[in-house]
């Protein structure tokens, strides 16, 4: 399985640094991935859903360390490249706001 496209939307926030969507093999998109600045540096947070008990459960995630490492290297590499090129960060969208990054990526991914 190959990551064939990565879209990074930088966010100007202390912890949340970007929203990301990735495409696998030109035919499957995963949206609502986040780049987070944590205590040990940047990491990739997979899309998740909040449960009734307040905990979060990943909706989509790598099944092994090799795929997790591949995904993180690809996403963080493109994020760092985009940030170093001077891409400006738009204001963080409100949760569920129309035109949120995941919506656009989903529409684009369904055209093919």
- Asked whether the predicted pLDDT for residue 108 surpasses 80, the reply is no
State both tokens at 5. Answer: 């496209």
pLDDT in tens, 14-34: 999 999 999 999 999 999 999
Q: What residues pair up with 48 in beta bridges, in sequence order?
A: 58
Predicted pLDDT at 86: 75
Euclidean distance between CA atoms 5 and 101, whole angstroms: 15
pLDDT at residue 101 is higher than 50? no
Domain residue ranges in the chain = 3-84
The CATH number for 3-84, chosen from 3.40.50.720, 3.30.1120.40, 2.60.40.1510, 3.40.50.300, is 3.30.1120.40
Is residue 84 very low, low, confident or very high in pLDDT (cuts 50, 70, 90)?
Answer: confident
pLDDT at 10 over 70: yes
Nearest-CA neighbor of 104 among 19, 17, 2?
A: 19
Band the pLDDT of 85: cuts 50, 70, 90. Answer: confident
List pLDDT tens digits, range 27-66: 999 999 999 999 999 999 999 999 999 999 999 999 999 9
């Amino acid at each position: 399985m190959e990551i064939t496209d990565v879209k990074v939307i930088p966010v100007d926030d202390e912890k949340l640094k970007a929203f990301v969507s990735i495409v696998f093999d030109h035919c499957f998109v995963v949206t609502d991935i986040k780049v987070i600045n944590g205590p040990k540096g940047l990491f990739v947070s997979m899309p998740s859903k909040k449960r009734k008990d307040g905990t979060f459960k990943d909706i989509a995630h790598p099944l092994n360390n090799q795929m997790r490492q591949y995904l993180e290297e690809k996403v963080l590499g493109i994020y760092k490249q985009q940030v170093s090129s001077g891409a400006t960060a738009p204001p963080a969208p409100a949760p569920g706001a129309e035109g949120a990054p995941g919506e656009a990526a989903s529409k684009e991914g369904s055209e093919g």
